[in-house]
Amino acid sequence: MEYYNYIKALHLIFVITWFAGLFYIPRLFIYHIEATEKPEPERSFLTNQLKLMTKRLWYIITWPSAVLASVFAFWLLFLNPYWLRMDWMLVKLGFVFLLYLYHLKCHWIFKELQKDIVKWTSNQMRLWNEGSTLILFAVVFLVIVRDAVNWIYGVIGIFLLAAMLMLGIRIYKRLRSKNPEL
């Protein structure tokens, strides 16, 4: 137990870097999708550069961070198995499961874009980009507030956050249609 705080710190560091990768990878996907709509030679130059940037982010930062965050999380649960009897921890693990599903879907999109298969619009990807934000909010509030949170208010809060994010995306889309430089 003398190393507990070190393990916890490492878990938190890799959670942060994992989320950094998950926040940025859909942004690169958006740029990649928009680059496919450009004329040549700009399209080839941009898509090749974005493929390289995405590959480096995905394999050097995001995947290793996901694995290491999980390793340190399992280690913490091994040291404190009683957490698995707490409702807030079980709900948190449910959100972590959703985060892994989100991560795996991002991996699938990554693989498609690496093969020049574009199935998403940039606006759909902007909405997709908010998935990790919603999970982050849910997990942080759950861990900090724990049992004191009223689940009904928590669920309402997540839906309100999602609605605000979608409204922000719509406003940005309108602004961008008026000024393509945004």
Residue set of the binding site for heme: 11, 92
Identify each DSSP E strand in the chain by its residue range.
Answer: none
The tokens describing 66, both together, are 């996901």
Cα separations in angstroms, 103 against 10, 18, 95, 167: 20, 10, 12, 24
Phi-psi region of 2 (alpha: psi -120 to 50; beta: other; left: phi over 0): alpha
* 3-state secondary structure at position 178: helix
**Cα distance between residue 65 and residue 71, in whole Å:** 10
**Cα distance between residue 50 and residue 25, in whole Å:** 10
- Residue 10 has, within 13 A of its CA and on its CB side, a CA count of 15
Q: Are 33 and 120 in contact (CB under 8 A)?
A: yes
Cα separations in angstroms, 79 against 16, 41, 128: 22, 56, 35
- The helix or strand, by DSSP H or E, that contains position 22, with its residue range, turns out to be helix 4-35
Q: Which residues are annotated as a binding site?
A: 11, 92
